[in-house]
Amino acid sequence: MSEPIKNRYDFVLIFDVQDGNPNGDPDAGNLPRVDAETGCGLVTDVCLKRKVRNYVQLGGHDVFVKEKAVLNRLIEEAYQTLNVDLAKPPTDEKDGKKRNQNGVGQGGEVERARDTMCRKYYDIRAFGAVMSTGPNAGQVRGPVQLTFGRSVDRIVSLEHSITRMAVATQAEADKQSGDNRTMGRKNTVPYGLYVAHGFISAHLAAQTGFGQADLDLLWEALQNMFEHDRSAARGLMSTQKLIVFQHDNALGNASAQSQFARIGIEAVKTPPRSVNDYRITLDGNVLPLSPIRVDVKVTP
């Protein structure tokens, strides 16, 4: 790991979806998530962090929360790396003369295991993790925090009937006399422009070891994560703008809200069906669609 970052950052991620479901709600038949009061679409922070994790994995970086992972097993591996046998008493009497609970770390062992986990896994350095289950490596609060993505305007959720020219069982085929058709439903958003806000704390970065290389990878992931997460269900999703506000120090020069207020997003055509139907401004100046990333220094 590189030296932890020294500056605070706030950022705005602007992304869109066309003819797809950006984040289905399993409690609502996998319909696109929506604010029931305003009709605006929602994409959870967990969904966005999943895409970041997937992207950094493609680059060869290991992540803690990954598909089909057994988290307690990964925590056990951290103790094995430290040559700590959780079935025996601690080797350092400062951690106790006996093992309070078989298979569970204690005292300074937990801190050392937590540091090992931070060094090994990118997502722990970035987002933090609760590792107090099983062998126990404590928990750590990550320096990178994200809000839900929220659409600028109301979204319309369309339901489409779809047909599969096959059936799953012979019984279904016999019932249809060989016609072999299966009907289904698919829900999409014709178009939605979403905005999510993010925050990076230099103080928390010092605790997890989140350094400049990690930060550069985060910006890269936010710009490119949709390019490697394609599916028919998600339609066309793209990062349209990443606006990064860099403060001069760890505490920051101004509130995050005052920086976010410098950005204006206004529809110039209704109903909007592409990012070209919006005007995105920074301090009143219209931003071009490229470059995707805009770096802004924060002044008091």
H-helix or E-strand spanning residue 31: strand 31-32
Task: Write down the pLDDT at residue 110.
Answer: 96
Task: Write down the pLDDT at residue 1.
Answer: 59
Q: How many CA atoms lie within 13 A of 240 on its CB side?
A: 23
- The full DSSP string for 106-174 is -THHHHHHHHHHHHH-HHHHHHEEE--STT---EEE-SEEEPPEEEEEE---EEEEEEES--SSHHHHH
| Residue numbers in the chain where pLDDT is lower than 50 | none
What's at 181, amino acid-wise? R
Query: If we measure between CA atoms, which residue out of 190, 217, 146 comes closest to residue 32?
Result: 190
**In angstroms, rounded to a whole number, what is the distance separating the alpha carbons of residues 86 and 101?**
9
Task: Write down the pLDDT at residue 173.
Answer: 82
**In angstroms, rounded to a whole number, what is the distance separating the alpha carbons of residues 74 and 245?**
35
State both tokens at 52: 């970041």
Q: How many CA atoms lie within 13 A of 41 on its CB side?
A: 27
Task: Write down the pLDDT at residue 86.
Answer: 95
Using one digit for the tens of pLDDT, what is the confidence trace for 103-156?
Answer: 999 999 999 999 999 999 999 999 999 999 999 999 999 999 999 999 999 999
CA distances for 82 relative to 18, 114, 159, 235, angstroms: 49, 11, 54, 45
Using one digit for the tens of pLDDT, what is the confidence trace for 249-273?
Answer: 999 999 999 999 999 999 999 999 9
Task: Write down the pLDDT at residue 177.
Answer: 78
Residue 90 class from Cβ within 10 Å (0-12 exposed, 13-18 middle, 19+ buried)? buried
Task: Write down the pLDDT at residue 93.
Answer: 86
